[in-house]
């Protein structure tokens, strides 16, 4: 029923998009997303309150009975997704206003957005493998269409095709996993996965999980399946980038958690595997983020980093399942689920702010920006808040989820197994590295973009965003603060999906312990906020009767300041770049300084992902080399093309005749 209504609203929305013009298209898309979000959020909230939704519908001869189940895990992801999709479309309607004159493009874009929303609702609620694959395919294609909105630019088209190909690699592995289970059980219900895993050898269960994990790792962006992500995010419009990073890649996280609920395998092996891959993902992602000069690409690599943090929590919780330790289970899965929500908040806010910067300056290169805090103070403040949150600093939301994961890792050190203790220590060390490097990265990003003076002449007038682009940012910012100062409320909510893994009867004491600790964190956060307000109030009172004058910043005795004396983004992280140079590919273009009075020179470095060069570039170059040897086949001659068809028809007729003849001869010899 719920999916039927959502589908009907989507169809009506698409029809209305095709017959309306101008601003009305954005309002129609906004209305469709709001209605579908409100409808499904109500059911999701009911599932988190303990009232799981279960229904089914007849899918005809092909699909049979299709089950729809929305438990607390689906409910949590539905609420997370709906919030980001709503803020995304509110921001996007205003962001896309300059393109309203492109009627066909804007219609396709908004239609893709509401179809993408519907497909994700289906993914979170459908538990029939064939219908699930259809919803997944719909999600992949609609996201592709959103990414390539500016398809006239070759780099955008390349990024979109890259995303589409790797999305279908994900679908390939999903299809193999579902066919594997259905061929053995005769059922397409997700429950068949659990039934099958209970009846086969542990090695087959691990292999089946590996098949599903690779599929969902492509979507989530785990290393080494991440190479599509740094291209698709920067190529898409800002609100689409926020949605892709905030919720679309989280479909992979949801898939991994759903499979963990279904497959009863060796949880220790699975947990350690996920943990190790996640540690590599987190560290590698933030390392590459630091050296990026494109603001949106920098944020894209931080999505990989945060997927690593979420994966660390999932790995920790799975290890807890293997060791039967409820504390590890709760800390791991609760931390992962809460960080999934937190990341959707601060990363969407960062992309919205980056989009505002781009629309005001038409520049994405950090090296050419500067001093924007004076012209865009609200955007700068919101970007700073999201930067502090993504770095895991209190009293904002990123600190809470990372604190929970840290708690589980520290508890895991006390194991009587040396191997486990060593792995937990390495994980803590890696988390600390991720946090430290994230601070370095966003110190660079904020200071170069918003502080100092402009490094490149910008001819158009730069001004603050209007209300409709600021409003969704403030909504997201309120949630970022809310999680930081009221963490116990969100922990009590996230405990519902965690109980699916550990059992509701075991959970309350551990939940109470975490609630007590986070209440202390909450009080400390409130104390910090009130202390800051008191200091600001005292200062304002003390200076209220004084005349405030403004003057240029002290130039240290230098009377001819120039923007060239400032740090560049490259020089800001020069020490780090030199330290990790062996792990990366950095293509540098630099002119030679010549003469006593040299002319101005140009120096530019372009970082490149070494894993991409190894896994993507080398194989494709090799394949293209092989295929190039057959280029003579496409010679432009019509006679040759006709002959190809004749040869094909001849082969298609001859092979069955030869096979039947061989079978006849064999049977004849058998009779003799």
SS (H, E, C) 538-588: HHHHHHCCCCCCCCCCCCCCCCCCCHHHCCCHHHHCHHHHHHCHHHCEEEE
Q: What is the pLDDT of residue 672?
A: 62
Residue 647 reports pLDDT greater than 90: no
Distance CA 310, CA 279 (A): 10
Find, among 144, 101, 137, 136, the residue nearest to 236 by Cα.
144
85-139 pLDDT, tens digit per residue, is 999 999 999 998 888 788 778 899 999 999 999 999 999 999 889 999 999 999 9
- Cβ atoms of 615 and 227 closer than 8 Å: yes
* CA angle 166–169–175, rounded 5-degree value: 150
Residue 461 DSSP class:
P
How many helices and strands in the chain, by DSSP H and E?
26, 4
168-205 pLDDT, tens digit per residue, is 999 999 999 999 998 888 888 888 888 888 888 888 88
Q: What is the pLDDT of residue 346?
A: 92
Q: Residue 563 corresponds to which tokens in the numbers above?
A: 């923007």
Q: What is the pLDDT of residue 140?
A: 93
Q: How many residues does the chain have?
A: 672
Lowest mean pLDDT among 429-443, 481-495, 575-589: 575-589
Lowest mean pLDDT among 237-246, 452-461, 464-473: 452-461
Distance CA 115, CA 32 (A): 10
Distance CA 446, CA 384 (A): 7
Using DSSP bridges, classify how beta strands 603-608 and 53-58 pair: parallel, antiparallel or unpaired: unpaired
Q: Residue 36 corresponds to which tokens in the numbers above?
A: 């579908």
Residue 522 reports pLDDT greater than 90: no
pLDDT > 90: percent of the chain: 40
Residue 361 reports pLDDT greater than 60: yes
Instruction: Tell me the pTM.
Output: 0.88
| Distance, C-alpha 122 to centroid of its chain | 19
- Cβ atoms of 173 and 180 closer than 8 Å: no
What's the alpha-carbon Rg for the chain, to the nearest Å? Answer: 28
Q: What is the pLDDT of residue 332?
A: 92
Using DSSP bridges, classify how beta strands 603-608 and 585-590 pair: parallel, antiparallel or unpaired: antiparallel
The average pLDDT across 36-59 equals 85
Residue 554 reports pLDDT greater than 70: no
263-300 pLDDT, tens digit per residue, is 887 889 999 999 999 999 999 999 989 988 889 999 99
Distance CA 243, CA 146 (A): 10
Sign of dihedral through CA atoms 120, 82, 483, 325?
negative
Q: What are phi and psi of 456, to 5 degrees?
A: -145, 135
Model confidence band, residue 475 (pLDDT cutoffs 50, 70, 90): very high
Q: Residue 574 corresponds to which tokens in the numbers above?
A: 């020069």
Q: Which of 246-250, 504-508, 622-626 holds the top average pLDDT?
A: 246-250
Q: What is the mean pLDDT of the chain?
A: 86
Q: Residue 77 corresponds to which tokens in the numbers above?
A: 């992801």
Residue 603 reports pLDDT greater than 70: no
Q: What is the pLDDT of residue 255?
A: 94
- Cβ atoms of 36 and 8 closer than 8 Å: no
User: Bridge partners of 54?
Assistant: 69
The average pLDDT across 563-570 equals 72
Model confidence band, residue 596 (pLDDT cutoffs 50, 70, 90): low
Model confidence band, residue 563 (pLDDT cutoffs 50, 70, 90): low
Distance CA 61, CA 38 (A): 32
Kindly give the residue spans of alpha helices, DSSP state H, lying in 263-325. 267-290, 295-323
């Amino acid at each position: 029923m719920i999916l039927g209504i959502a589908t009907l609203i989507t169809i009506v929305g698409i029809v209305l998009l095709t017959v309306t013009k101008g601003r009305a298209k954005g309002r129609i898309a906004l209305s469709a997303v709001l209605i579908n979000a409100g409808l499904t959020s109500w059911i999701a909230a009911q599932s988190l309150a303990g009232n799981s939704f279960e229904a089914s519908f007849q899918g005809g001869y092909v699909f049979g009975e299709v089950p729809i189940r929305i438990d607390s895990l689906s409910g949590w992801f539905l609420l997370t997704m709906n919030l980001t999709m709503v803020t995304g479309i509110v921001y996007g309607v205003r962001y896309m206003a300059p393109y309203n004159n492109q009627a066909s493009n804007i219609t396709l874009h908004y239609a893709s957005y509401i179809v993408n929303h519907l497909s994700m609702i289906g993914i979170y609620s459908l538990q029939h493998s064939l219908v699930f694959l259809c919803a997944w395919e719909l999600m992949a294609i609609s996201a592709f269409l959103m990414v390539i909105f500016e398809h006239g630019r070759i780099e955008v088209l390349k990024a979109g095709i890259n995303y589409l190909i790797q999305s279908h690699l994900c679908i390939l592995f999903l299809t193999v996993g579902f066919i594997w289970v259905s061929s053995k059980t005769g059922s397409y219900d997700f429950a068949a996965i659990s039934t099958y895993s209970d009846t086969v050898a542990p090695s087959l269960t691990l292999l089946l999980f590996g098949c599903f994990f690779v599929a969902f790792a492509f979507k989530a962006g785990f290393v080494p399946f991440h190479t599509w992500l740094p291209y698709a995010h920067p190529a898409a419009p800002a609100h689409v980038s926020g949605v892709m990073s905030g919720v679309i890649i989280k479909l992979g996280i949801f898939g991994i958690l759903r499979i963990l609920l279904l497959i009863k395998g060796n949880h220790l092996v699975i947990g350690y595997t996920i943990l190790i891959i996640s540690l590599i993902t987190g560290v590698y992602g933030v390392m590459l983020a630091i050296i990026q000069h494109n603001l949106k690409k920098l944020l894209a690599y931080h999505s990989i980093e945060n997927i690593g943090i979420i994966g660390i929590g999932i790995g920790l919780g799975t290890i807890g399942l293997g060791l039967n330790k409820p504390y590890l289970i709760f800390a791991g899965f609760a931390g992962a689920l809460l960080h999934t929500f937190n990341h959707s908040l601060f990363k969407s806010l960062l992309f919205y702010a980056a989009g505002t910067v781009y629309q005001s300056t038409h520049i994405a290169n950090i090296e050419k920006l500067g001093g924007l805090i004076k012209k865009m103070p609200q955007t700068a403040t919101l970007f700073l808040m999201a930067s502090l949150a993504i770095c895991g600093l209190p009293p904002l939301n990123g600190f809470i989820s990372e604190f929970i994961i840290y708690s589980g890792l520290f508890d895991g050190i006390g194991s009587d197994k040396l191997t486990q203790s060593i792995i937990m220590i390495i994980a803590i060390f890696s988390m600390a590295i991720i946090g430290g490097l994230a601070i370095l990265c966003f110190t660079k990003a904020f200071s170069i973009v918003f502080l100092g003076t402009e490094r490149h002449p910008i001819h158009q007038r730069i001004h603050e965003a209007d209300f409709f682009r600021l409003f969704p940012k403030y909504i997201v910012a309120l949630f970022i603060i809310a999680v930081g100062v009221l963490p116990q409320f969100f922990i009590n909510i996230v405990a519902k999906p965690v109980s699916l893994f550990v059992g509701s009867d075991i959970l309350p004491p551990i939940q109470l312990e975490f609630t007590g600790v986070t209440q202390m964190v909450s009080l400390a956060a409130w104390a910090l906020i009130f202390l800051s307000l008191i200091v600001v109030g005292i200062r304002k009172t003390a200076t209220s009767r004084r005349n405030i004058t403004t003057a240029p910043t002290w130039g240290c005795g230098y009377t001819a300041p120039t923007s060239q004396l400032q740090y560049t983004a490259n020089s800001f992280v020069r020490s780090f770049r030199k330290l990790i140079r062996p792990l990366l590919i950095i293509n540098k273009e630099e002119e030679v300084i010549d003469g006593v009075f040299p002319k101005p020179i140009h120096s530019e470095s372009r970082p490149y992902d070494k894993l991409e060069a190894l896994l993507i570039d080398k194989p494709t170059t090799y394949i293209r080399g092989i295929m190039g040897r057959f280029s003579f086949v496409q010679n432009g001659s019509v006679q040759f093309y006709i002959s190809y068809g004749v040869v094909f028809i001849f082969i298609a007729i001859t092979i069955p005749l030869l096979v039947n003849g061989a079978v006849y001869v064999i049977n004849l010899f058998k009779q003799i």
